[in-house]
């Protein structure tokens, strides 16, 4: 067999890959596409850059370089040119956390917050094992334990700490958690009720949702805390803190119901019919087929409500419940700290606190959305 | 107007549902429920530990001391200006000690009774020392920072008009903004109630460069309030203040009250319950005033501790001095 000779004009190796043009890849491409795509975009980029250049030095100076980090009282913060007074936050941190809760009992609050954090991570971590146990602990054992710990129980040797002493960050957490935990099941039930074929159930669910959504939140709180004592004898009226908690839960449930209903309507009829054809009961059909799909669709809406609810908790201050924001407002009035930068520092801290939580919730929901939507992406 | 209607309705409800006296309720409950400010330096404000302090707060502690011999048996319920009277009407609080101004309409139309005035306040001015002004009457042509939509604005205009002076009012939505504007030099003077002036002054970059002018251009008698219809409770509230005043007048202080019990002076002996039984008529024990002074102190002590020289505010006694020292504080005798 004659050996095949390669003609000299044929290449034996592929030609080397040329790099793409500079403007078609890498950072340059990204900048061209995202920041300089057209005259409008270029202008916007320039204005944005100018703003950053203008604002950054002042912010850095106010927040870091000129800021007062350690000082026993407000004197150093009052000095001309002093920036943010972080020592004020450090000194008042205990007050922000616990407000008037007796200081020798704050370990109980800390224990509650720690338990809540551990359980929340357990439930929210996608890969965590034995979620059923975690859920049982979080929804049944934890509320009882937290109540006993925070409120105290003579039988267990824990002195009472009445709710008028509660306040600060831990109270904001309680209000938000109660609202979030109750609003989802409440909202699902109300949404199912509104789509029910039983007229009485449908009527009352609709009535409740529309009534609550038609009334401002502040009115509900004011009604609960100021008017209720007029109508019921003192021994009957629930605790001053329980009333706004119930209000928050009912309020959030009504809004949640409409979001869930949107999800239910987005599920094709075929799903229901298929489930019925399999002979599933109503609740099984909902639990196994409809709700898992419906809730996935409306995750952004649900998280939107949670975020709104978290920020709405500050409204309980209107009826005299000292939540976190109220403690900031109170602390900044302290004559020992009064000064030109105190209010700004306090509000900056409060803003950062709410932002961290709301942004965290938002990112978490995005991650869950991607995970849950993986099956439908192909 | 809406408030008044609601309040009138509430009063009607309460009148029909008359129950046991407030004192009995308080004793049965085991603590006094005191409507306080949501936060006002010197009058009602929680400290770093969350313990309420201030002149109004000490008044509530004095009432609790008189009833329970324990100044800590008070529950403070912070109330905003909007819902304070409703909370009192609805029985949510037993007494409202929240720097409320005693006015005719509040007594007559809201169905309240105001006890002894525990702070004579009024609108005043502050200005920079370098302006070399020693009286508000020299403020002709000045620009004045003021909080919007309050009676403060009205009083300001009245004062300048009745004195034939010109001014430029610069109004702000909140006191915070107004004081910032004053500090940055946008106006020559800042006006609000005198008690507030001292608190706001501390927020300036250089508080020492500003003085509070002596003129007080409006009457704001601040007094604790109770619901009408329970004279016994009203007496307790009124006489708690008077007991503190009498103690100051007679030189009885928290430190020396135990020695003063042995005093031969009849007035002191009657006040401290060594002679006679003056608490009985109010449903209290005969040492009610002794308890107040022992736990809280006399009015002067309370004043200096919360708003006066021993506090950050450093408000002068002024109108709040005893009548015998040129002020307005005058208490009827215990006898």
List, for residues A103-161, the tens digit of each pLDDT value.
888 899 999 999 999 998 898 888 888 888 888 888 888 988 988 888 888 888 888 88
Residue B170 pairs with which residues in a beta bridge? Answer: B145
Question: What is the per-residue pLDDT across B20-38, written as a single tens digit (0 to 9) for each?
Answer: 789 999 999 899 999 998 8
Contact B45 A230 (CB under 8 A): no
Which of A233, A239, A333 is the best substitution to test chain B (most B C-beta atoms within 10 A)? A333
How much is the pLDDT for A377?
58
How much is the pLDDT for A82?
83
**Rounded Cα distance, B58 and B235, in Å:** 18
In a domain, A77, yes or no: no
Is B77 touching A (CB cutoff 8 A)?
A: yes
Contact B48 A91 (CB under 8 A): yes
In 3D, which of A374, A326, A361, A358 has the Cα closest to residue A100? A326
How much is the pLDDT for B295?
96
Looking at the 3D structure of chain A, how many domains does it have?
1
Contact B80 A320 (CB under 8 A): yes
Residue B226 pairs with which residues in a beta bridge? Answer: B113
Rounded to the nearest angstrom, the minimum Cα separation between A183 and chain B is: 28
What is the CA A152 to chain-centroid distance, rounded? 28
pLDDT band at B207 (very low <50, low <70, confident <90, very high): confident
How much is the pLDDT for A1?
52
Instruction: Answer whether A237's CB lies under 8 Å from A229's CB.
Output: yes
Which of A236, A320, A332 is the best substitution to test chain B (most B C-beta atoms within 10 A)? A320
Nearest CA in chain A to B178: A340
Contact B91 A342 (CB under 8 A): no
How much is the pLDDT for A3?
62
Instruction: Answer whether B286's CB lies under 8 Å from B279's CB.
Output: yes
| Residue B152 exposed, middle or buried by CB count within 10 Å (0-12, 13-18, 19+) | buried
Tokens coding B261: 């019990």
Nearest CA in chain A to B14: A230
How much is the pLDDT for A320?
81
Contact B78 A320 (CB under 8 A): yes
Is B334 touching A (CB cutoff 8 A)?
A: no
- Find the CB nearest B90 among A103, A230, A319: A230
| Pairs of CB atoms within 8 A across A/B | 104
Is B208 touching A (CB cutoff 8 A)?
A: no
Is pLDDT of B17 > 50?
A: no
**Rounded Cα distance, A263 and A280, in Å:** 21
pLDDT band at B80 (very low <50, low <70, confident <90, very high): confident
Domains of chain B, first to last: 2-120+221-325 (3.40.190.10), 123-218 (3.40.190.10)
- Give A-chain residues touching B42 at CB under 8 angstroms: 335
Q: DSSP class of residue A139?
A: I
In a domain, A149, yes or no: no
Is pLDDT of B6 > 60?
A: no
Which of B33, B50, B79 is the best substitution to test chain A (most A C-beta atoms within 10 A)? B50
Is B312 touching A (CB cutoff 8 A)?
A: yes
pLDDT band at B13 (very low <50, low <70, confident <90, very high): very low
Q: Tell me phi and psi for residue B33, to 5 degrees.
A: -105, 115
| Phi-psi sector, B33: left (phi>0), alpha (psi -120 to 50), beta | beta
Residue entry with tokens 């709104």 = A308
Contact A229 B77 (CB under 8 A): no
Tokens coding A105: 């009992």
Tell me the residue range of the domain where A271 lies: 161-377
pLDDT band at A71 (very low <50, low <70, confident <90, very high): confident
Contact B86 A101 (CB under 8 A): no
In a domain, A147, yes or no: no
- Find the CB nearest A78 among B47, B199, B205: B205
- Give B-chain residues touching A103 at CB under 8 angstroms: 49-50
Contact A92 B51 (CB under 8 A): no
**Rounded Cα distance, A234 and B306, in Å:** 33
How much is the pLDDT for B19?
52
Contact A226 B87 (CB under 8 A): yes
- Find the CB nearest A335 among B41, B52, B78: B41
Is pLDDT of A237 > 50?
A: yes
Higher pLDDT, B331 or A9: B331
Contact B75 A162 (CB under 8 A): yes
pLDDT band at B11 (very low <50, low <70, confident <90, very high): very low
In a domain, A260, yes or no: yes
Question: What is the per-residue pLDDT across A356-374, written as a single tens digit (0 to 9) for each?
Answer: 999 999 999 888 888 887 6
Length of chain B, please? 335
Rounded to the nearest angstrom, the minimum Cα separation between A348 and chain B is: 16
Is pLDDT of B149 > 90?
A: no
Q: What is the ipTM metric for this complex?
A: 0.81
**Rounded Cα distance, B115 and B237, in Å:** 6
Rounded to the nearest angstrom, the minimum Cα separation between A235 and chain B is: 10
In 3D, which of B105, B97, B329 has the Cα closest to residue B225? B97
* Mean pLDDT across B79-107: 88
Give how far Cα B209 sits from Cα of A123, A133, B138, B202, Å: 58, 65, 18, 11
Is B199 touching A (CB cutoff 8 A)?
A: yes
Instruction: Answer whether B115's CB lies under 8 Å from B99's CB.
Output: no
Contact A78 B47 (CB under 8 A): no
How much is the pLDDT for B253?
95
* Mean pLDDT across B232-242: 96
Q: Which residues of A249-263 are buried (b: 16+ CB within 10 A; e: fewer)?
A: bbbbbbbbbbbbbeb
Best-predicted range by mean pLDDT (A173-177, A248-252, B292-296): B292-296
Which of A340, A341, A344, A347 is the best substitution to test chain B (most B C-beta atoms within 10 A)? A340
Contact B205 A340 (CB under 8 A): yes
Give how far Cα B160 sits from Cα of A88, A177, B11, B147, Å: 40, 54, 39, 17
* Mean pLDDT across A189-217: 93
Is pLDDT of A187 > 70?
A: yes
Question: What is the per-residue pLDDT across A274-311, written as a single tens digit (0 to 9) for each?
Answer: 999 999 999 999 999 999 899 888 988 999 999 999 99
- Give B-chain residues touching A230 at CB under 8 angstroms: 10, 13-14, 89-91
In a domain, A91, yes or no: no
**Rounded Cα distance, A88 and A71, in Å:** 8
| Phi-psi sector, B133: left (phi>0), alpha (psi -120 to 50), beta | beta
**Rounded Cα distance, A339 and A331, in Å:** 12
How much is the pLDDT for A375?
65
- Give A-chain residues touching B313 at CB under 8 angstroms: 335
Is B46 touching A (CB cutoff 8 A)?
A: yes
How much is the pLDDT for A352?
95
* Mean pLDDT across A245-256: 92
Terminal alpha carbon distance of chain A: 52
CA dihedral of residues B176, B177, B181, B184 (deg, nearest 10): 70
How much is the pLDDT for B318?
87
Q: Tell whether the torsion through CA atoms of B320, B322, B326 and B327 is positive or negative.
A: positive
Kind and range of the H or E run holding A178: helix A168-194
Contact A92 B48 (CB under 8 A): yes
Question: What is the per-residue pLDDT across A16-52, written as a single tens digit (0 to 9) for each?
Answer: 888 878 777 778 888 888 888 888 989 999 999 999 9
Which of A328, A335, A345 is the best substitution to test chain B (most B C-beta atoms within 10 A)? A335
**Rounded Cα distance, B253 and B238, in Å:** 20
How much is the pLDDT for B9?
46
Give pTM, 2 decimals: 0.84
Instruction: Answer whether B50's CB lies under 8 Å from A101's CB.
Output: yes
Which of B203, B206, B207, B210 is the best substitution to test chain A (most A C-beta atoms within 10 A)? B203
* Mean pLDDT across A194-210: 94
**Residue A358: which CATH number?**
1.10.3720.10
Q: How many CB atoms sit inside 10 A of residue B287's CB?
A: 19
Share of chain B above pLDDT 90, in %: 67
In a domain, A3, yes or no: no
Q: Tell me phi and psi for residue B136, to 5 degrees.
A: -65, -20
Is pLDDT of B39 > 90?
A: no
Q: How many CA atoms lie within 13 A of A217 on its CB side?
A: 21
How much is the pLDDT for B75?
92
Q: Tell whether the torsion through CA atoms of B173, B178, B184 and B187 is positive or negative.
A: positive
In a domain, A40, yes or no: no
- Give A-chain residues touching B311 at CB under 8 angstroms: 335
In 3D, which of B160, B161, B122 has the Cα closest to residue B144? B160
In 3D, which of A242, A241, A187, A180 has the Cα closest to residue A213? A187
Q: Tell me phi and psi for residue B210, to 5 degrees.
A: -120, 140
Share of chain A above pLDDT 70, in %: 97
In a domain, A309, yes or no: yes
CA dihedral of residues B81, B84, B86, B90 (deg, nearest 10): 170
Which of B20, B29, B48, B60 is the best substitution to test chain A (most A C-beta atoms within 10 A)? B48
How much is the pLDDT for A235?
67
All residues at 6 or more sequence positions from A278 whose CB lies less than 8 Å from its CB, including other chains? none
Terminal alpha carbon distance of chain B: 43
| Residue B254 exposed, middle or buried by CB count within 10 Å (0-12, 13-18, 19+) | middle
Interface of A with B (CB under 8 A): 78, 80, 91-92, 94-95, 98-101, 103, 162, 164-165, 167, 222, 225-227, 229-230, 234, 240, 317-320, 322, 326, 329-330, 333-336, 338-340, 342-343
All residues at 6 or more sequence positions from A52 whose CB lies less than 8 Å from its CB, including other chains? none
Q: How many CB atoms sit inside 10 A of residue B314's CB?
A: 16
* Mean pLDDT across B163-189: 90
Instruction: Answer whether A115's CB lies under 8 Å from A137's CB.
Output: no
pLDDT band at B2 (very low <50, low <70, confident <90, very high): very low
CA angle B16, B17, B21 (to 5 degrees): 120
Across all residues in chain A, what is the average pLDDT?
88
Contact A234 B91 (CB under 8 A): yes
Is pLDDT of B4 > 50?
A: no
| Phi-psi sector, B128: left (phi>0), alpha (psi -120 to 50), beta | beta
DSSP β-ladder status, B123-128 and B189-193 = antiparallel
Is B80 touching A (CB cutoff 8 A)?
A: yes
**Rounded Cα distance, B171 and B148, in Å:** 5
């Amino acid at each position: 067999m004659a050996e095949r000779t390669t003609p000299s004009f044929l290449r034996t190796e592929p030609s080397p890959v040329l790099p793409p043009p500079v403007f078609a890849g890498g950072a340059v491409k990204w900048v061209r596409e995202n920041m300089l795509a057209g005259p409008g975009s270029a202008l916007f980029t320039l204005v944005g850059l100018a703003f950053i250049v203008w604002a950054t030095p002042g912010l850095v100076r106010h927040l870091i370089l000129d800021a007062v980090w350690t000082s026993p009282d407000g004197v150093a913060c009052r000095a001309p040119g002093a920036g943010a007074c972080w020592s004020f936050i450090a000194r008042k941190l205990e007050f922000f956390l616990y407000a008037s809760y007796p200081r020798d009992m704050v370990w109980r609050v800390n224990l509650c917050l720690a338990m809540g954090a551990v359980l929340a991570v357990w439930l929210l971590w996608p890969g965590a094992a034995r979620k059923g146990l975690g859920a049982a602990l979080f929804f049944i054992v934890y509320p009882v334990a937290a109540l006993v710990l925070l409120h105290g129980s003579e039988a267990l040797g824990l002195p009472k700490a009445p709710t008028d002493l509660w306040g600060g960050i831990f109270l904001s957490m309680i209000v938000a958690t109660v609202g979030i935990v109750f609003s989802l099941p409440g909202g699902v039930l109300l949404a199912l009720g509104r789509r029910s074929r039983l007229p009485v159930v449908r009527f009352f669910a609709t009535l409740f949702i529309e009534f609550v959504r038609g009334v401002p939140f502040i009115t509900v709180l004011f009604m609960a805390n100021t008017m209720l004592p007029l109508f019921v004898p003192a021994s009957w009226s629930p605790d001053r803190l329980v009333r706004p908690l119930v209000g928050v839960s009912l309020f959030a449930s009504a809004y949640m119901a409409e979001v869930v209903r949107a999800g239910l309507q987005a599920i094709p009829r075929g799903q229901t019919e298929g489930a019925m054809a399999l002979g599933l009961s109503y609740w099984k059909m909902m639990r196994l087929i409809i709700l898992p799909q419906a809730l996935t669709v409306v995750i952004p809406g649900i998280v939107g409500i949670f975020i709104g609810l978290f920020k709405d908790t500050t409204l309980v201050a209107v009826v005299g419940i000292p939540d976190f924001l109220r403690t900031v407002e109170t602390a900044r009035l302290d004559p020992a700290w009064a000064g030109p930068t105190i209010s700004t520092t306090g509000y900056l801290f409060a803003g950062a606190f709410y932002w961290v939580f709301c942004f965290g919730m938002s990112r978490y929901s995005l991650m869950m959305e991607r995970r849950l939507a993986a099956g439908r992406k192909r | 107007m809406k408030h008044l209607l609601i309040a009138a309705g509430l009063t009607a409800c309460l009148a029909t549902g008359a129950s046991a006296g407030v004192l009995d309720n308080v004793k049965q409950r085991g603590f006094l429920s005191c409507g306080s400010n949501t936060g006002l330096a010197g009058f009602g404000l929680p400290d770093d530990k969350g313990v309420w302090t201030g002149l109004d707060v000490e008044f509530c502690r004095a009432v609790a001391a008189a009833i329970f011999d324990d100044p800590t048996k008070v529950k403070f319920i912070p109330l905003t200006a909007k819902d304070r009277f409703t909370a009192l009407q609805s029985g949510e609080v037993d007494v409202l000690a929240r720097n409320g101004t005693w006015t005719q309409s509040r007594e007559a139309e809201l169905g309240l009774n105001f006890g002894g005035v525990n702070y004579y306040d009024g609108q005043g001015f502050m200005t920079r020392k370098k302006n070399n002004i020693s009286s508000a009457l020299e403020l002709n042509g000045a620009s004045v920072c003021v909080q919007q939509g309050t009676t403060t604005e009205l009083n300001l205009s009245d004062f300048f008009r009745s004195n034939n002076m010109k001014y430029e009012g610069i109004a702000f939505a909140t006191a915070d903004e107004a004081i910032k504007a004053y500090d940055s030099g946008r106006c020559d003077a800042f006006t609000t109630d005198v008690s507030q002036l001292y608190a706001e002054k501390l927020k300036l970059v250089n508080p020492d460069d500003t003085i509070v002018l002596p003129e007080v251009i409006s009457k704001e008698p601040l007094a604790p309030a109770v619901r009408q219809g329970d004279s016994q409770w009203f007496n307790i509230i009124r006489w708690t203040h008077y007991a503190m005043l009498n103690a100051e007048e007679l030189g009885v202080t928290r430190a020396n009250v135990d020695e003063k019990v042995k005093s031969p002076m009849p007035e002191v002996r009657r006040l401290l319950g060594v002679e006679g039984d003056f608490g009985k008529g109010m449903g209290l024990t005969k040492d009610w005033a002794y308890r107040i002074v022992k736990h809280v102190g006399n009015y002067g002590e309370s004043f200096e501790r919360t708003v006066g020289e021993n506090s950050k505010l450093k408000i002068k006694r002024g109108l709040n001095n005893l009548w015998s020292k040129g002020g307005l504080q005058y208490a009827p005798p215990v006898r």
